[in-house]
Amino acid sequence: MQRLIPSPFYMALMCLLLGGMVGCAGPTGGQKIYQQGMDEANAGNLEEAVGTLQKGVSTFPGNMDMRLGLARLQFERGMIHHERELNLRRTGAALLETDRRAEGTAANRAASQAHQQAVPLFTSCEEQIDEVVSSSDDPKQVAWASSLGMRVCLFFERYAEAYEHISRAIHEGKPTGKLLTKWRNFQASIKEKVAGHTDDDDYR
């Protein structure tokens, strides 16, 4: 059984969801299943929680809380592989610099494999995000889904879409204080990435 060490962003999102800042469906809309999945996630049982929420989404496709929770967990699963990829690439680069070519090549090969393991998880995450963004009538749900969508698009190096996501998150969520500063910093950084990939000046 795979166990999850929750990231700070994950814990913030769970507090948002469980604390009622995002509208939760009633018991007839799958709330019991949703709560079970969140309890499993908070206990660190990642795969079990994902399985629970996948079944919940299949049964209650209109439960946006469930979709957002599932998206977050799929993102966390993808990050496990992505962080491994980044570590292996750093290791590979260091080995190649010291002429340990065989070891460096092996590390880079393992990094590529880790990347490929992350891709379907981020893709599944994005499917849930797109559904929340297009279907939810709760601005805070849309904002948190969009902030997560930004991170997924950065993984795929789709910078223009990442910019659209974070801009939507700021517009819909109307964050204040440290969160606003953090999201604005993301927005500015991504704008630079967009400028480096296109001559289009629409991202202002």
Q: How far is CA 179 from the centre of its chain?
A: 17
Distance, in Å, from the CA atom of 100 to the CA atom of 139, rounded to the nearest integer, reads 52
User: Exposure pattern of 51-90 as b/e (b: 16+ CB <10 Å)?
Assistant: ebbbebbeebeebbbbbbbbbbbbbbbbbbbbebbeebbe
* Residue 64 three-state SS: helix
pLDDT tens, residue order, the chain (204 aa): 444 444 444 444 444 443 333 444 444 468 899 999 999 999 989 899 999 999 999 999 999 999 999 999 999 999 999 999 999 999 999 999 999 999 999 999 999 999 999 999 999 999 999 999 999 999 999 999 999 999 999 999 999 999 999 999 999 999 999 999 999 999 999 999 998 876 544 444
**129-172 tens-digit pLDDT:** 999 999 999 999 999 999 999 999 999 999 999 999 999 999 99
DSSP of 138-174? -HHHHHHHHHHHHHHHHHTT-HHHHHHHHHHHHHHH-
- The pTM for the full model equals 0.80
Q: How crowded is residue 154: how many other Cβ atoms within 10 Å of its Cβ?
A: 18
- For 48-61, write each residue's pLDDT tens digit: 999 999 999 999 99
CA dist list (Å): 106 to 103, 114, 201: 5, 12, 41
Give, in degrees to the nearest 5, the angle at Cα 135 between 25 and 169: 95
Helix (H, G, I), strand (E, B) or coil at 17: helix
Retrieve residue 143's tokens. 């904002």
Distance CA 54, CA 196 (A): 38
Our measurement of the distance from residue 158's CA atom to the centroid of its chain's CA atoms, rounded to an integer in Å, reads 14
